[in-house]
Amino acid sequence: MVIEMDSIVKDIAKETSMEISLEQRISEKISSLYGLDPHEANVDQIYKATATVVNEILRDKRKAFNTKVRDQKQRRVYYISMEFLMGKSLKNNVNNLGIVDELTNVLKGLGVTLEDLYEREPDAALGNGGLGRLGACYLDGLASQDYPAMGFSIRYEYGLFKQKIVDGYQTELPDVWLPGGEVWLSKRRDKACNVKFDGYVEEKTIDGKVIYDYKDYNEVEAVPYDMMVSGGNSDAISVLRLWRSRNIRKFDLNSFTQGDYAKATQEYTDADLISKVLYPSDNHYQGKTLRLKQQYFLCSASVQNIINDHIRYYGDIRKLAKYSVIHINDTHPTLSIPEIVRILMDDHRLSFDEAWDITKNMVNYTNHTVLSEALEKWSEELIQRKLPRIYMIIKQIDQRFCDEAKCLGVSNEELNNLRIIHNGEVRMANMCVIASGKVNGVSALHTDIIKNNLFNGFYKIYPDKFVNVTNGIAYRRWLCQSNPALCNYLDSLIGPEYRQDAKNLEKLLAFKDDESVLKKLDEIKYQNKCTFAKYLYKKFGIVVDPTTRFDVQVKRLHEYKRQLLNVLKIIALLTDLEEDPYRQITPQTYIFGAKAASTYYIAKDIILLINSLATEIQNRPEIRNKLNVVFVEDYNVTTAEVLMPASEVSEQISLAGKEASGTGNMKFMINGALTFGTEDGANVEIHQEVGDDNVFIFGMRDYQVSELWQKGYNAQWYYDNNYIIKRVLDRLDRGFNGKSFSNIKHYLLNQYPVADPYMCLADFDDYMRVYYQMDEAYNDRMRWNKMSLVNIAKAGIFSADRSIREYADNIWNLKKVK
């Protein structure tokens, strides 16, 4: 009876809380958080109060959704990733909850705007680039389509560094995001668990069963913080669970009283360090102990959480794979595999065979890069020392694979390439492929490359494991929220259905010959360019002319992405103008944004080159008016959201075969920019979608790249035989803004300090050829706008909703919650 009354009271309270207006809730929040009358609160206080109220609404929705998932006994996907590049939350949530107008009114009464609040929020930059942003887009796609999902990662205290350019050089500052970002995090002490490192394992036999007794280990506590991720027009909420590491050892009073303060606090700092900072690198693997600890910390805490929840709600451990599926985002969370086996064997007393069977039925893996320097191979000795029990299990998995492979007729030589442990190293990608039900690449070309190259040995024995899921983007964020002018216009032309299903963007094709529509698209682009120009000026004091063409390359700085090739093209145009100042060229602005990993010296030199070139040009008005270059400092998700709608040319110029997919290319496309790129990653599919007439493709194809590499790339030959290349490279000697860049000339000519493995000079000529075609198309305004329209119309396929449906159907076997 008491319980019944209690639940009735709760229901009434819930109903009334729904009826409490947003205005009242925000006022009450300001009062309870700060003891202030709403009108006395400053913008920061209003931001925090509003975000807290929005977060509470999301938490209520999550609770209701969770109940449905459990009532319907639905399988759930757990997306484990070392990175989630979430950006800001308020705008996305306010849009998804459909409370923009109501909130705008409430805020008006308080003398602030929604934009004021958006500006207060720091970006949650818990990722480096594409891989982390993809994770964020997928949590959105999962929620938008009512799939039961949870993401797991680390609650880094410092996200990706803030970039500050000083005299043209990149410097790095810590990214302190939590003071403004933690309003979105709810601590879940009830879900905390411990993670063990070091020590040793004793094998005992009790009642004929082998028991593994883990001794003398060090323990770290993992405390979760939940972030709610809403979707467009849906009842579902994805949760991103971020683990924070905490010391659980008692304070070492003994050392302290003896004056050894460093020792007394040692344990504390060691444990704390695990979730301190995101590794600011991508595509370069280094076998650092702290990184391994981060990975195991994430995997162990997440797998414990998944299994504990399973037992709590479904009871039977043998049904674990029926209700849970784990996705391993690149190899970083590979240790989830032996961790599942460990818990099933050591805590639930299953045999290795039983545990291995369940594990294979619940993990899948996405590969995100084929670059050899990015493939993780940990030293066997390090894993054995830090994770002794996990090491034993990896050896057992390896042995099991060898036995199976021999039965399948794999030769000893081939086996050496495929097995997990070899030559003192533990190869994480091999473990992933061996354990996973499905392995996928992230674009059609990339999947072909992993089948025929990177994982060919595995493909031969397990052909059905390999599938493609081309990446996709959360287009409601990247189009609907970032480009309201375009979307309002689209609403009036084709109706709002595209906001629900991006394929409806194709309706726009009906207007491809309608001059008034094309003109309007041009006007919208111009307005967005003005908005970006204002943003640049306000934030960095940089002036750009919105009447010039905006030609943009924004992405992590890496040799394979070939920002340098773009710079060579700009220098070619510059030398033309220096030779003939009256030469007519289309006024154009090159916009770069890129962060380099802090120890990636060549990448940092390229940033210096871009900045020096930009400064030199900005100091020469006669050049600047025709050919401008700007480097946008600290490129991040928020800058991208302003820049994509303003872009006209999207530079996607990686060496073919190296960019797994790219997702920036899709964000540009859906905002009407035209791709100027190589046949690489998802560019190939963009090309296919829009056709030859609506894209600018140049350069070697991936097989031509391999042929040239095999034959031997002779950079000097291009220098000796191509007058423009010679002139451009010699111009580097003279340098820019008082700095010579002979080092980069040497780099390009395969001399010093290292070779150019990405063969910029081999693609230069074709790049210039297609540049002039692009330029001609740009100057035919109606033709250009038509091309732009086709790109918007055909971008629907690159929605994360589509990618997620493919994952759900072909990989996870996941159903939508009704």
3-class SS at 330? coil
Which two tokens mark 651?
Answer: 């530079």
Binders of ligand 26V among residues 454 to 483 (CB under 6 A) are: 471
Smallest gap, in angstroms, from Cβ of residue 681 to ligand 26V? 5
Q: CB-wise, 87 or 129, nearer to ligand 26V?
A: 129
Q: Is 708 in the site for ligand 26V (CB under 6 A)?
A: no
Element (H, E) at 33: helix 22-34
Q: Which stretch binds ligand 26V (CB under 6 A): 126-134, 218-226, 356-364, 735-743?
A: 126-134
Q: Which stretch binds ligand 26V (CB under 6 A): 267-275, 277-285, 484-492, 742-750?
A: 277-285
Token pair 């929840």 in the structure block, residue: 309
How many Cα atoms sit within 13 Å of 743 on the Cβ side? 12
Among 89, 283, 589, 803, binds ligand 26V (CB under 6 A): 283
Q: Is 131 in the site for ligand 26V (CB under 6 A)?
A: yes
Q: Is 333 in the site for ligand 26V (CB under 6 A)?
A: no
Q: CB-wise, 377 or 476, nearer to ligand 26V?
A: 377
| Category of 606 on φ-ψ map: left (φ > 0), alpha (ψ -120 to 50) or beta | alpha
Binders of ligand 26V among residues 621 to 660 (CB under 6 A) are: 659-660
Check: CB of residue 767 under 8 Å from CB of residue 569.
Answer: yes
Check: CB of residue 544 under 8 Å from CB of residue 590.
Answer: no
Q: CB-wise, 279 or 356, nearer to ligand 26V?
A: 279
Residue nearest to ligand 26V (CB): 130
Burial state string for 353-367 with b = 16 or more CB within 10 A and e = fewer than 16 = ebbbebbbebbbbbb
How many Cα atoms sit within 13 Å of 774 on the Cβ side? 24
Q: Is 330 in the site for ligand 26V (CB under 6 A)?
A: yes
Pick the closest to residue 607 from 622, 618, 592, 619 (CA basis).
Answer: 592
Would you say how long the chain is, in residues? 818
Q: CB-wise, 437 or 662, nearer to ligand 26V?
A: 662
Smallest gap, in angstroms, from Cβ of residue 226 to ligand 26V? 24
3-class SS at 22? helix
Cα 174 from Cα 771, distance rounded (Å): 39
Distances (CA, A) of 109 to 100, 103, 239, 430: 15, 10, 33, 59
Please tell me the count of residues contacting ligand 26V according to CB under 6 A.
23
Q: Is 685 in the site for ligand 26V (CB under 6 A)?
A: no
Smallest gap, in angstroms, from Cβ of residue 662 to ligand 26V? 5
Element (H, E) at 264: helix 261-273
Q: Which stretch binds ligand 26V (CB under 6 A): 237-245, 278-286, 396-404, 415-423?
A: 278-286
Q: Is 563 in the site for ligand 26V (CB under 6 A)?
A: no
3-class SS at 551? strand
3-class SS at 288? coil
DSSP letter for each residue of 470-534 = ---B-HIIIIIIT-HHHHHHHHHHH-GGGGT-GGGGGGGGGGTT-HHHHHHHHHHHHHHHHHHHH
Q: C-alpha dihedral over 58, 61, 63, 68, to 10 degrees?
A: -150
Q: CB-wise, 122 or 333, nearer to ligand 26V?
A: 333
Smallest gap, in angstroms, from Cβ of residue 366 to ligand 26V? 7
Among 103, 134, 277, 429, binds ligand 26V (CB under 6 A): 134
Smallest gap, in angstroms, from Cβ of residue 491 to ligand 26V? 30
Other C-beta atoms lying within 10 Å of the C-beta of residue 807: 28
Smallest gap, in angstroms, from Cβ of residue 329 to ligand 26V? 9
Do β-strands 549-554 and 649-652 pair in parallel, antiparallel, or remain unpaired? parallel
Binders of ligand 26V among residues 662 to 681 (CB under 6 A) are: 662-663, 681
Other C-beta atoms lying within 10 Å of the C-beta of residue 499: 18
Is 586 a catalytic site residue?
no
Cα 122 from Cα 522, distance rounded (Å): 32
Of the listed 419, 549, 561, 626, which one is catalytic?
561
Q: Is 369 in the site for ligand 26V (CB under 6 A)?
A: yes
Of the listed 327, 368, 465, 794, which one is catalytic?
368
Smallest gap, in angstroms, from Cβ of residue 195 to ligand 26V? 20
Is 73 a catalytic site residue?
no
Smallest gap, in angstroms, from Cβ of residue 74 to ligand 26V? 27
Pick the closest to residue 236 from 305, 302, 312, 150 (CA basis).
Answer: 150
Q: Is 379 in the site for ligand 26V (CB under 6 A)?
A: no
Smallest gap, in angstroms, from Cβ of residue 537 to ligand 26V? 31
Of the listed 191, 529, 667, 794, which one is catalytic?
667
3-class SS at 691? coil
Q: CB-wise, 375 or 729, nearer to ligand 26V?
A: 375
Among 85, 442, 486, 572, binds ligand 26V (CB under 6 A): 442
Residues with Cβ within 8 Å of residue 192, at least 6 apart in sequence: 221, 222, 223, 224
Among 447, 566, 661, 799, binds ligand 26V (CB under 6 A): 661
The residue type of 729 is L
Check: CB of residue 813 under 8 Å from CB of residue 147.
Answer: no
Among 128, 144, 170, 652, binds ligand 26V (CB under 6 A): 128
Among 29, 61, 368, 746, binds ligand 26V (CB under 6 A): 368
Return the bridge partners of 213, or none: 202
Cα 785 from Cα 538, distance rounded (Å): 29
Q: CB-wise, 365 or 719, nearer to ligand 26V?
A: 365
Q: CB-wise, 498 or 676, nearer to ligand 26V?
A: 676
Is 794 a catalytic site residue?
no
Q: CB-wise, 61 or 386, nearer to ligand 26V?
A: 386
Among 138, 156, 197, 285, binds ligand 26V (CB under 6 A): 285
Q: C-alpha dihedral over 589, 569, 665, 644, to 10 degrees?
A: -10
Q: CB-wise, 154 or 573, nearer to ligand 26V?
A: 154
Q: Is 284 in the site for ligand 26V (CB under 6 A)?
A: yes
Is 667 a catalytic site residue?
yes
Cα 452 from Cα 196, distance rounded (Å): 39
Smallest gap, in angstroms, from Cβ of residue 715 to ligand 26V? 25
Q: Which stretch binds ligand 26V (CB under 6 A): 127-135, 485-493, 521-529, 586-594?
A: 127-135
Q: Which stretch binds ligand 26V (CB under 6 A): 147-155, 335-343, 367-375, 410-418?
A: 367-375
Cα 693 to its chain centre, rounded Å, is: 30
Helix pair angle (100-109, 22-34), 10° resolution: 50
Q: Which stretch binds ligand 26V (CB under 6 A): 38-46, 122-130, 237-245, 421-429?
A: 122-130
Q: Is 374 in the site for ligand 26V (CB under 6 A)?
A: yes
Q: CB-wise, 242 or 355, nearer to ligand 26V?
A: 242
Q: CB-wise, 468 or 500, nearer to ligand 26V?
A: 468
Cα 453 from Cα 459, distance rounded (Å): 9
Distances (CA, A) of 171 to 501, 516, 610: 42, 47, 15
Is 555 a catalytic site residue?
yes
Of the listed 359, 615, 663, 678, which one is catalytic?
663
Among 130, 333, 388, 437, binds ligand 26V (CB under 6 A): 130
Return the bridge partners of 173, or none: 162
Q: CB-wise, 241 or 377, nearer to ligand 26V?
A: 377
Pick the closest to residue 427 from 377, 367, 368 (CA basis).
Answer: 377
Q: Is 427 in the site for ligand 26V (CB under 6 A)?
A: no
Is 583 a catalytic site residue?
no
- What does R_g of the chain's alpha carbons equal in angstroms? 28
Residues labelled as active-site residues:
368, 555-556, 561, 663, 667
Q: Interface residues with ligand 26V (CB under 6 A)?
A: 128-131, 134, 279, 281-285, 330, 368-369, 374, 442, 471, 659-663, 681
